[in-house]
Structure 1
């Protein structure tokens, strides 16, 4: 089947009947089926797709309906959707929402400007427009996202106040030293209880991200995956102070990590290290997982930048 053409038709039809998320998800499902070499009758399980792509059932159902409209899958009574025939071709690159890409690009540019001292601790939306040469509508959307992440606070009028970042080599070293003491300890707390539902979602999200072709705007999503991994392990510790410390560190290091300078190889290595830690925790060896998490943080501290 000509999957590339099907994806184009899917995106065109989605403009009236489905969200961009559903259209993009439909294309990602097709690429997944191609990578797995799935054959006719392959059963598409909604819950598995939710975990794999870290989304709720609603966009998954919308994506499957779009694929059914294009003839790639068909609905079966009491079975959901199944693949009609093997996927023999698929787009090399994932569909990209221009608005979402613009938002991520600005996110990265704000990180660079903050790290370089070009954006002051307090500034207006109009100042961001002027300094970074971007559209006001994009600035408004991104600043709202930063506010939700706790990285900025709204001031009277159109002003914003940035949270103080880790913005020096010494501060970065101290942050990693602190994290290497606190985070691994949470894994061997007597109150630690692994959230296995989260673990499966996180594992699927890591594996799906690992297959994507890297571009610098993906640093935003990679930071989200990375932060969630560390924060949720801290939550599993059952210790509110460990969790609070990790959440604070995530906020402090956000812009430093979103301006990703360590290359795609470190992205892959970091994902693999996370997956190994999850596997060891799944097997119940928390002491070993504690050691691996400490090694992961120390290595991340010492890795040399590969991008300037």
Structure 2
């Protein structure tokens, strides 16, 4: 048990981390692993982090673990209270809902810009990443799929060639990454999300890309609907 949560038991931990992390115990490596565990829901929102268990899990001392936790505290992924310790930061549902509202418009705007400005090089890069993501889906590799999913979204935004849009989008995505992961934890939504990505790719590759803005907006709206539904059904404290 890596965290203590009064309302919901912690999920079973993944396989032991890589030998590289166990050998050098660098706090940056530990922070990367903890960040992924939080974003993928393995360390539940609001749950208390049990340092002893994590030290045993990573086979490290408390020093690199606490340095890693300080990094995550700066990022807002964990909170710390004296004499109580660290907890995984709770998800603010109202904030997530507000971010999604803004995101829908950004996706639609990005679709319009992307349709006009995407280069052949960017298109081929997105397609390669998309095919790798599809392979992860077929192999049931959810974490790897979700990582590529995030990269593809940012690649499409960047290919729209609007630096202001790219900057705003990247900032918003850090706020909702965990929420989107909760939605994709549902197998039905995972398949639906892949189908939507396939439709977006088809529109991006078509001679007439007029459907692209609406498809990107609808994908964002569907993700938001499922994310909010899953968050409201999940105890956060």
Q: In which range does the TM-score fall when normalised by the shorter chain?
A: 0.5 to 0.7
Question: Can you give the 5+ residue segments of structure 2 that lack an aligned partner in the other structure?
Answer: 1-13, 22-29, 78-89
Evaluate the alpha carbon distance shift between residue 179 and residue 139 of structure 1 in structure 2; reply closer, same or farther with a 3 A threshold: farther
Quote how far apart the aligned CAs of 1:248 are: 1.4
Equivalent residue for 1:192? 117
Query: 2:130 aligns to what?
Result: 203
Higher share of residues assigned helix = 2
**Residue 158 of structure 1: how far off its partner (Å):** 7.5
Q: Specify whether residues 158 and 128 from structure 1 end up closer, same or farther in structure 2 by C-alpha distance, changes over 3 A only.
A: same
CA contact (8 A) 2:157 2:165 kept: yes
2:130–2:152 Cα contact (<8 Å) kept = no
Q: Using the alignment, how far apart are the partners of 2:44 and 2:168 within structure 1?
A: 22
Paired residue secondary structure (1:252): helix
For residues 221 and 232 of structure 1, the distance between their equivalents in structure 2, rounded to whole angstroms, comes to 17
Partner of 1:30: none
2:52 counterpart (130, 135, 158): 130
- Change in 2 beyond 3 A, CA 1:172/1:134: farther
CA distance in 2, matches of 1:209, 1:139: 34
Residue 288 (1) aligns with residue 211 (2): yes
Match of 2:75 in 1: 163
Q: How far off is 1:138 after superposition?
A: 7.3
1:272 aligns to what? 195
Q: State the shift of 1:109 in Å.
A: 4.3
Count matched residues.
190
Q: What is the aligned-residue RMSD (CA, Å)? A: 3.9
Q: How much has 1:108 moved relative to structure 2? A: 5.6
Q: Distance in 1 between matches of 2:92 and 2:194?
A: 25
- Distance, in Å, in 2 between the alignment partners of 1:170 and 1:134 is 36
TM-score, normalised by the number of residues in structure 1: 0.51
Summarize the Cα distance change of 1:222–1:206 in structure 2 as closer, same or farther, 3 Å threshold.
closer
| 1:245 correspondence with 2:168 | yes
Q: CA offsets per residue over residues 150-209 of structure 1, 9 Å max, x none?
A: xxxx96x97323423682221121111111011220221286214122122122112202
2:224 maps to 1:301: yes
- Over 3 Å counting, the alpha-carbon distance change for 1:251 and 1:114 in structure 2 is farther
Structure index of larger Rg: 1
Unaligned runs of 5+ in 1: 1-95, 120-126, 144-153
TM-score if structure 2 supplies the norm length?
Answer: 0.64
**Offset of 1:236 from its aligned partner?**
0.6
CA contact (8 A) 1:202 1:229 kept: yes
Q: What SS does the aligned partner of 1:246 have?
A: helix
Q: Highest relative contact order (Cα 8 Å, sep 6+), 1 or 2?
A: 2
Q: Deviations over 1:260-282 (max 9, x none)?
A: 56411211111121121011111
Paired residue for 2:45?
116
